[in-house]
A and B are shown apart, each in its own frame.
Chain A
Amino acid sequence: MSSPLVLAVPAKGRLQENAEAFFARAGLTLIKPRGARDYRGAISGLDGIEVAYLSAAEITSQLAAGAVHLGVTGEDLVREMIPDTEKRVVLIEGLGFGFANVVVAVPQAWIDVRTMADVDDVATAFRQHHDRKMRVATKYINLTRDFLSAHGVIDYRIIESSGATEGAPAAGTAEMIVDITTTGATLAANGLKVVEDGTILRSQANLVAARGAAWGTQERDLARVVLDRVAAQARARAFREVRARFAAGTDMLVESAKRKFAIEAPFGGPTSSGMLILHCPPDQVYALTSFLRENGAEAVAVAELGYVFSRDNPLYAKLEAGL
């Protein structure tokens, strides 16, 4: 009896729904055999994996400590909470949900401030003027420190804020803030604007592996299976299948389409009967179909893909390289 591979998944809210939907699309159904209130689960039909439902912050610290093998959490938390991020975890793949930017925001009334160079100058002037340092409210202490330091800002101090950070300037507890935003609406509602070059991080939910976890043969095999399915699903989502039939030779055509539309030809050139199957990024589909018809295709069919499995397993390769 060996210990299971532990996959940590957000315990509540939209992040949980999105994570479950993501794994479901990959053919990995998360189940709670002991009832919905249980914080331990499993993956249907895949033995040896334990699903741990935790808060995103807990997932991050458990990954840092190596107490779970894989976890779904925001890159913002990973970069903030784990010093020397690359030494402790491997960011395997962005999952396409939980998008949020960590930004520097100042009061809209600061019409003299647009860039980080302005922020730097205002901070210095503020200290001369008020004989104290400008205060930056944030829960992202490390990200803020590193970013401001990279921009040469020194005349500031951080006020730790655990919630409703965007209200700090209006409440008079800070001059400016560093916080996450998706649309900027909350910032605007609080009379704040994002500094132009003040985006610290474009974050999304990530599948993250802990380098410090126990990675035996069995854990690696299970991770390979999970990542193979995730990769097959990710690749399927990134492409549409385009089928067409040609009467004449099409070798040159495939090469030229590859250059023009970033397509892939997973099964090589056309079959002896002239059938050609291409994988095309969704935003290029119409252009490609026009191109194919102009070059002799009688009909072109486009379909969504379920999974695309290939011999290589890029996500697992990334994990293995990081361990």
Chain B
Amino acid sequence: MIYKILFTCLIIATADCFAKGTYQQPTEFVAEAFTIQPEPQVIWVKGKLREQIENILQHKSLSKRIRYWKNKTRSVWVLEEIGKKKPITVGIIIDDNKISNLKVLVFRETRGWEVRYPFFTQQFNNLTLNSDNTLSETIDGISGATLSVRALEKLARIALMLNSTIQSQVTSK
């Protein structure tokens, strides 16, 4: 009986160890996205853009400016959103206004870590943004990881929206 309890505790502790962690440093993620890494640029979150971001987040935007890396039609974003209690850091690569890679870089929560697996993140590939700032396809959730799934969806929408904002800024120039 004692062995069974110890074994169960070990399994739980091991699962917890696997759950939290830095899967890739944000700097490495950005470096991998380009042959020659461009200098970071910043976009100021104010006015209508701030309103739109806060609409997606359903709470106040924490940062007044967001940094990104851009080369031709590719832009890379490292964004954070709270899952249940702690922020999840996500790297998003956008090519031609479509998500080409979404990766969980740092996961700090004890639950919902399944969102880091490719079977889940691959659903975001090739998604675009609808005119009402929703994703072009529905994302299948994971039971027990609803808040983490929701956080990743929000970040994907924000990245696409920011990308379209910087693209329109380039066009208007």
Does B associate with A?
Answer: no
